[in-house]
Amino acid sequence: QVQLVESGGGLVQVGDSLRLTCAASERTFSNYAMAWFRQAPGKEREYVGGIRRSGDLTLTADSVKGRFTISRDNAKNKVYLQMNSLKPEDTALYYCAARSGRIRTRPNEYPYWGQGTQVTVSS
């Protein structure tokens, strides 16, 4: 059972940056592909990006490509989402998720989830 805790959200201005952190409890953290999703009010949960177990491959959604970067530190059991040039449409509750195997882009393919951290981008 993997427990995930996100942190780093907040209220920022357009164009600002934030770095989200997801801390995992699992000692075998490196066995899991990790992903970030987000959900805005009234909308479906949206894939933001994922990172392979070894960290050598990331897959980022087109909506954030070039602005958001995912990385991980397996020694610290953490995955990060660096968000630059934030826009109002990035406002959402951001979740990290874990699964064994490969990166997937659908939420129902991830059995482990954190509680989310709110990101609000004000114009």
Instruction: Determine the pLDDT at residue 104.
Output: 96
Tell me the average pLDDT across 74-99.
97
How many angstroms separate the CA atoms of 38 and 9, rounded?
Answer: 12
How many angstroms separate the CA atoms of 114 and 121, rounded?
Answer: 21
Tell me the average pLDDT across 83-104.
97
Instruction: Determine the pLDDT at residue 26.
Output: 77
Instruction: Identify the band that residue 85 occupies on the pLDDT scale cut at 50, 70 and 90.
Output: very high
The DSSP annotation for 24-77 comes to E--TTGGGEEEEEEEE-TTS--EEEEEE-TTSS-EEE-TTTTTTEEEEEETTTT
